């Protein structure tokens, strides 16, 4: 199941990307798809967050809500240090 990520770059552009997972290391932020293929790479970024997924429930007998929202955390990058 893919996740939608929002990544803001220092120039103020907001990128929305679907990926399976992400890796943050000395190369920056890499968003990966199935098989570990890179979908996007950000050597420098301002912030990244996972967009909350909406899960629809078909069991309305136990709940009056037709949908449920799950949330996830946000990762904040350190200030650019010229590395």
What's the pLDDT score for residue 83? Answer: 43
Residue-wise pLDDT tens digits, 6-18: 999 999 999 999 9
Q: Can you give the pTM of this predicted structure?
A: 0.62
Burial class (CB in 10 A: 0-12, 13-18, 19+), 5: buried
Residue-wise pLDDT tens digits, 18-64: 999 999 999 999 999 988 899 999 999 999 999 987 777 776 555 55
Q: What is the DSSP letter of 36?
A: G
């Amino acid at each position: 199941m893919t996740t939608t990520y929002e990544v803001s770059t220092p120039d103020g552009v907001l990128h929305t990307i679907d990926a399976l997972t992400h890796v943050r290391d000395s190369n920056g932020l890499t968003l990966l798809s199935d098989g570990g293929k890179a979908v996007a790479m950000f050597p420098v970024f301002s912030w990244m967050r996972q967009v909350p997924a909406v899960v629809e429930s078909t069991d309305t007998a136990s709940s009056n809500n037709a949908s449920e929202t799950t949330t996830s955390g946000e990762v904040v990058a350190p200030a650019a240090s010229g590395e």
